[in-house]
Amino acid sequence: MKTSEMVFNYLKSQGLMPEFDERNNILFKYQMKTFLYFNNDEDQAFFNLTMPCIFDVTDENRMEVFEALNEVNETTKVVKLTIADGNYRIVSAME
């Protein structure tokens, strides 16, 4: 079974309502927040779960945000924070 199918089935078994988007990624809501699982069936050791657009990054706060992202990335094993499209997102990568 492909990783994306396992993720989809697990989410359904937990009572969530996942759906595949046009790129075969999985969208679902949990506790009023939207999550996106990026499908990468070619690399079964990589798990990419994103919670997009969780904080507005502006020119005024960009440096403070980078410092906070860097601290989290250095001290947390399973989370990788990045800035994308002016907002930062949480990307979890587990090996």
Q: Rounded to an integer, what distance in angstroms lies between the CA atom of residue 93 and that of residue 5?
A: 18
Q: Is the pLDDT of residue 93 over 60?
A: no
pLDDT of the residue at 94: 42
pLDDT in tens, 3-41: 889 999 999 999 999 999 999 999 999 999 899 999 888
5 phi/psi in degrees, rounded to 5 = -65, -40
